[in-house]
Amino acid sequence: MIKFNPETSDIELSESGSLKTNNYLEDVAQRINFKINLDKGDWFRDRNAGIPWTSEIFKIKNKQKQLERVKYFIKKELENDEDFEELLSLNVEVDEQKRSLFINFSIKCKNGKSINFTQEKKEVSYALRGY
């Protein structure tokens, strides 16, 4: 798969200007990152793909229920990935002051290697502040 910069989502090029590609673990991590960040309904080729961040999760005012739904959808996306073998850990936390959602998980891939994933979703919702 073509390599994308995780910070900018831009395609990465080598010094000679050719496209960079991922190794196996980078490919799995990049694909999962795209799946986790995709808001359901945003991809024109499959309106059911992704996590319903704006249509459901960020509208939930109960913090515990919101965290449960995030975990549910992340597990669902992971389990549907072709290279997923086992969920080793999953932690989702809310920082109400920053209005951020922190996602940390570790998975075992079918090749036996593991990937650790950490992400902060910023300015996620007024619901996180109890409004």
24-129 under CATH 2.60.40.10, yes or no = no
pTM, two decimals, is: 0.81
Distances (CA, A) of 16 to 1, 2, 8, 12, 61: 19, 16, 20, 11, 50
Written as six digits, the tokens of 13 are 């090029």
Tens of pLDDT along the chain (131 residues)? 888 887 777 888 889 989 988 899 989 999 998 899 899 999 899 999 999 998 998 888 888 998 999 999 999 999 999 999 999 999 999 887 887 889 999 999 999 999 999 988 765 544 443 33
